[in-house]
Each structure stands twice: as structure tokens, then as C-alpha cells.
Structure 1
Amino acid sequence: MSALTVVLALLSALGNGAASVLQRRAAMDQVREERGDGGPMRSLLRLARLLRRPFWLAGLAAMVVSALAQVGALAVGRLSVVQPLLVSELLFTLVVGSLVFRHRPDGRTWLSFVMLAAGLALFLVAADPSSGSPTALGGHWMSVGVVVAIAAGALIAVARVLRGAARAAALGSATAVCFACTAALIKELTGRFAGGVVAVLTDWPLYAVCAVGLLSFLLLQSTLRAGTLAASQPALTLGDALVSIALGWMLFGERIELGPRIVPEVVGILLMAIGIVGLTRSPAMCGGWDQAVPEPRRNTGTPLPGGRSGPGGEGTP
């Protein structure tokens, strides 16, 4: 596990967390200003207007930085290391969210932060994922792709009949499956860089990354509108890590250490789970912390001589 891999993966996690918060803020601004539902045409118009909001554009920029960092991490590291490190996205989500939505984390929240970070570190050190093949083993992509498509489709179908937090969690899980698949495809693509630019442009992984990445992006937008980050983010981050470990094993032959090391691995997973539950139940995330959009400060005007105030203010008798 190289330091460069860790740095790039953490930078990607920071970008993802910032993107989730900023685009959630844009969605909440839009919900507050544009009441009422509509048909497909109204939904398209609403999405078009969302693309012009500064917070959404800032989130898009953070997403681009995250994607570039993730490509770099997957080019030099293992899928089963890079994606679990992205669990730290939840930490960055809450830090950035506390700034954007003006909710300061309390002591219990920071304790949950520490437990999640410690659990992640313990799991990765104990598991010590082995190096695998730079590209997928022969013929595995077809069967794995079918399984991934069925899993994502089933989760989306379940989400359609749910409401509230359950709907957000189901959509977050579907998005996690697509994100993990996108990461595996990026790993496949970077493994083919040695063949040259022409080989990369004329082979299927590049276009599969674009297609699945676009689907992941659209699913993320639906997830952000479906419910709070407290409901969607744990399913999104943990699901991405677990599915990525499975894909690393099935596609690239990456292995994690078992035997006696399974004890600290399980402890690490439990610490992560407790940390995530603690974060989602902390005062920083309860009560719709990411729904209350800070109101702009009102200008009361500048006092004028004689006890009067400027425009917008109230004078004294």
C-alpha cells in the first residue's frame, strides 16, 4: 500500500464528500424555491435549472477533481485498497456539510469520526490486499457485468416503491454498486494504458466507463433528492467499499488475508459500522441538518445622522 495511493484515494474521498454536500445544498435551494411536482418535462427543466446553480457547479468541480484523483489512485494501486479508503468520504461529507449547513459537530460526532477512521485503518492493515492482475482475468467481465446490472436494477426497482429514508438508502446502495463497477472499469482501463493511445481509444473499457459513470452520476442526483445524507451516505460509502473488494477478487484476482487476521478485520469492520451509525445518529446529522438552508443575512441599512437609517432600515422617532 503506497503513500501515493493513499494520498490520491483520500483526495478523491474529499472531492466526493464535498460534491455530495454542495449538490445537496443546490437541490435544497431548488426545493425551497420551486414547489410542486410535475411530469417528465418539468423534471428535465428542473434539472436544467439546477445545472446553473453555483453550489451545484462547485460540486461538479469537486467531482471532477475526485474522478482524476481516483483514476490516478487506481493506476498505481489496487481496487481493494483504493475503494475502501473512499469510506473516509463520509468523514469529509460531515466536515464540509457542517461548514455549508452551519452545524458544528459535537464531541460524540468527533468520537464517531475517530472510530470510523480507526476501523478503516485496522481493516486495511490486517487485510493487506494482495496485488492482482492489472486487467481482468479472461472472460470474467461478461458474467460479472450481468450480476452487477441485475443487482443495481433490483435496488432501483425496490427504491421505486419506498419513501423517505428507506428510498434514499436503496438508491444509495444502487449508486454504490454502479460506483464500484465504474472503479473496476477504470482499473481495467488504466491497465491497458501500456498498449498506447490508439488501443485505449478503440477498445471497450473507455466507453463502458463513460456509460456506467453517467448512470452513476444520474443515480447520485436521484439519491440526493430522495432523502437526507444521513440515510443515503452510509449505504453509498460502505456499499462501494464492499462491492469493490468483491470485484477486485472476481475480476483481478486480488486477495485479502484471512486466517488469524480475520479477527482484526472483523473488529475493523465493526468499528466502521459503529462509527457510521454514530455519525448518522449524531446531533450534527439529526433533525434534517442538510435540509435547513442558511438564510442570507438581511441588510438593515446604515444609520444616518439624526437617528435615521438607510434603505431597508427603521428610523427612530
Structure 2
Amino acid sequence: MLVVVLALLAALSNASSSVLQRRAAAEEPEGGAGLRQAARWLGRVLLRPHWVAGAGLLALSTVLQAAALGRGSLALVQPLMATELLFTLVVGSVVFHRRPDRGIWLAFAALALGLAMFLTSADPIVGRSTASAGLWTMAAGAALGAVTALVVTARAVRGAPRAALLGLASAISFALTAALLKEMTGRFPDGLGALLASWPPYATAVAGAVAFLLLQSAFRAGTLAASQPALTLGDALTSVVLGWALFGEQIMLGVRAAPAVFGVMLMGVGAAGLARAPSVSGSWDAASQRPGTDSVRPVP
């Protein structure tokens, strides 16, 4: 239960961070075209109280996620982080005074029910706290190969398919980042000095940066509705695989496989529906929206 609470608080903090930073961007008038004007606009946005508060919440989210991963399985924590979409809908609707319609609430219910069905059916079991260098080499190689293949394939297509492929590549990278973060928490007992002298902190930073850049590419390639389902499901399912391969985590299959698969399908439908909500996608009402202010995205 503590792991669930920590993961949900991390998702809530992430969602609130995104909404506040988007609010800061929406409040600042566009300064015109050009690199110098863009830099000045960004500098003003970064000084706004809403953006500073959002940055603090983002840091808090990382701490909460690390705490959850240190106590629970990767296969449990990462799917729970998908609730960030639900929290973004609620918090964004309050901050920007946008009441969701019935279709959005149905998508909300689909994602929540699908997540509950998947986690209840899979029932992830905690494994080891760290993984061997050999397992990390194989897992990182497989993840890198999959991301490279998806990026190369995405270059050959346009529109929604490209956004979906890049979204999936980003999801794999985010799942790998979470796995590396779990490795770091497993090494905390060795002391901070030993941790900083090892490779996981730096690999985590690199994997996180790659995931973020791929996500921005996915958003430029197509709509959020095209990339979000691949991102949500890809992160959750890749985390299950990495948890099993690296840390020996187990999930229940057998007769529970059918409701687990149905839950994953509901999560996909819900994620696609929520991606169209203004409070999730960033397409706020005309009174509060400014050009170029919908590019900030919450980190999974």
C-alpha cells in the first residue's frame, strides 16, 4: 500500500508540475519571432511563480518515484505513473476552469478501470533490488536496439504513424530510465560516495535526456492523441519486461491473462480519449492560451 501511495503521489506531483508550468507559459505574452526574443520569453517564464512551483513539484515527483521504486516492483510503480493523465485532467480543469465533457469522463473511467484490472490481474511480485552487469548489458542493448529500429522506421512515415512510433521509442527510454532509477535506489545502502562513483546515476541522466528528446520529436510529428497511447502502454509494458529481466519480478498469468489484456486495452482507449482533453493536451481556452505554449509535457 505504501508503494501505491508513493507512486500515486509522484504521478499527482508530476501532473501538477505540468499544469503549473503550462499556466506560467500561458500567462506570458509571446515576445515575437527569433532566437533572442524566444530566449527572453523563456527567461521571463522561468521567473514566474507558477513555473518555479512546478519545478519544485517536478523534483518532488522524482524523489517520490525513487522512493516507490526502492520499496516496490518496477512492474507496479510504472503502470501506476499512468495515473498522471487522470491527475492532469483534474488539476488542469481546475486551474484553467475547463469542465470536461462526458466523453472525457468516460475516457477517465476507462483508463482508471483498465489500470485497476491490469494491476489486480498481474499482481506484480517484488524481486531483487539490483541487477548484475551482465543483465544490464543485455537489457540496455535490447532497449537501444528497439529504440533505434523505431526511430529509423519513423523516419520513413509521416503524421500519426510517425508520432506513435516515436512515442513508443520514448516510452521504452522512459521505462529504461525508471529501471536505472530503481538500480540507484538499490545501491543507496552502499553510501552516496559509492553511488556517485558507479555508472547508474550517469546512465540514468543520459537515458532520461534521450527519452525527453524523443518525446518532443513525437509531439512535433503528430498530435498527442497519436503518441499518448503508445507512450502510456509502452512505458507500462516495457517496465513489466524490464522488471522481470533485470530484477526477477514476477506477474501472474494463467487464467488472469484475459482480464489483464482487457485492462491494457482499456488503458489504451482511455489514454487516447484523455489525450484529446484540453486540460491534458494543453489546448486551453482562447482567453488563456498564447502561441507556442502547449509544448511542455509532464515526465513519466
Please classify the TM superposition score into its range, dividing by the shorter chain length: 0.7 to 0.9
Q: 2: distance between equivalents of 1:37 and 1:226? A: 22
Distance 1:251 1:212, change over 3 A: same
1:295 maps onto 2:287 in alignment? yes
**CA, structure 1 residues 47+211, in 2 after alignment: closer, same or farther (shift >3 Å)?**
farther
Structure 1 partner of 2:292: none
Instruction: Work out whether 1:174 is the aligned partner of 2:169.
Output: yes
Aligned to 1:204: 199
Q: Which residue is equivalent to 2:241?
A: 246
Map 1:253-268; keep pairs closer than 5 Å: 253-268=248-263
Q: Which amino acid aligns with 2:263?
A: G
Q: Distance in 1 between matches of 2:163 and 2:44?
A: 23
Instruction: Report how far residue 188 of structure 1 moved.
Output: 0.8
Shift in Å, 1:17: 2.2
- In the aligned structure 2, how far is the partner of 1:206 from the partner of 1:232? 28
Aligned to 2:111: 116
When structure 1 is superposed on structure 2, of 112-121 and 269-278 the one drifting more is: 269-278
User: TM-score w.r.t. structure 2 length?
Assistant: 0.81
AA aligned to 1:66 is S
Residue pair 1:90, 1:234 contacting (<8 A) in 2 also = no
Matched, 1:96 2:91: yes
Question: 60-69 or 154-163, which moves further after superposition?
Answer: 154-163
Q: Which residue of 2 aligns with 1:277?
A: 272
What percentage of residue pairs aligned between the two structures are identical?
A: 52
Whether the 8 Å contact between 2:45 and 2:51 is mirrored in structure 1 is yes
Shift of residue 47, structure 1, vs aligned partner: 5.9
Alignment of 1:133-172 (within 5 A): 133-157=128-152, 168-172=163-167
Alignment of 1:105 onto 2:103? no
Tell me how far 1:77 sits from its aligned partner. Answer: 0.5
Q: TM-score, normalised by structure 1?
A: 0.77
Question: 1:236 — aligned with what?
Answer: 231
Cα distance in structure 2, aligned partners of 1:167 and 1:42: 31
> Are 2:225 and 2:272, in contact at CA under 8 Å, matched by a contact in 1?
no
Cα offset for 1:194? 2.2
Alpha-carbon deviation of 1:195? Answer: 1.9
> Per-residue displacement from partner, 1:187-210 (whole Å, max 9, x unpaired)?
111111222233212111122122
Higher relative contact order, structure no. (Cα contacts within 8 Å, ≥ 6 residues apart): 2
Residue ranges of structure 2 left out of the alignment (5+ in a row): 289-300
Q: Which moved more, 1:261-270 or 1:219-228?
A: 219-228
Q: CA deviation at 1:71?
A: 0.4
Q: Which moved more, 1:12-21 or 1:121-130?
A: 12-21
Shift of 1:87: 1.4
Tell me which of 117, 121, 127 is aligned to 2:122. 127
**1:36-55 pair list within 5 angstroms:** 36=33, 51-52=46-47, 54-55=49-50
CA distance in 2: counterparts of 1:43 and 1:210, whole angstroms:
26
Indicate the residue corresponding to 1:301 in structure 2.
none
The change in CA–CA distance for 1:220 and 1:17 in structure 2 (over 3 A counts) is: farther
Q: CA RMSD in A?
A: 3.3
Indicate yes or no: 2:10 matched with 1:4. no
Q: Does 1:213 align with 2:208?
A: yes
**Structure 1 unaligned runs (5+)?**
297-317
